Amino acid sequence: AKNINEAVVLPSKFADQELKFEVYVPDGYNNYSDERYPVFYTTAGGSRINVLKEQLAWLSHVGFGALPKVIIVTVPYIEIETDMEPKYISASGINSDLTIEVLNQEVMPYINKHFKTHPFNILEGFSSSGNFPLYVLANKPELFNAYISVSPALVLDKSGLLTKFDNRLASPDYKNKSL
């Protein structure tokens, strides 16, 4: 099956909204097989999700490829009250703690229960949403095994993100983590 897509809507105990996210399973995904897949969580939406799906499919199309086949899950956007323009909210970090809580307590358990997952999780973000993987790495590094931050908008961060990495990268929390 190619690009099977499931739109998920979950009530949230933490966010004051329903959680909406998409799940894409890789070619060959089969509920009756024992094969399990790492999960690639992404902040991509709109047109970028289509490009990302194709890039990941290409990187995993052969057994010796650069990446194994993965289940792709879009990170739900958590709305908060602010005067800030929407495109700056993600980059600022003001909704990051709530987004982490929603991922950790609601989205990831749902994915692990309803899909054939392998216990290896990747978090990816780009541009204004590229700060989020760095924020999670700084504040809850155990949540993911690998972090991808492409062209993060660090100048828009309001959370003191870069200072959080001072002296932390040498700590045991970051052993076996990839950025």
For 76-81, the CB contacts below 8 A with 24+ separation are: 76/15, 76/19, 76/20, 76/21, 76/102, 76/107, 77/20, 77/45, 78/15, 78/17, 78/102, 79/15, 79/16, 79/17
- Which pLDDT belongs to residue 3? 54
Mean pLDDT per block of 10 residues along the chain (179 residues) reads 77 95 92 92 91 91 85 93 81 91 98 96 94 93 95 88 73 80
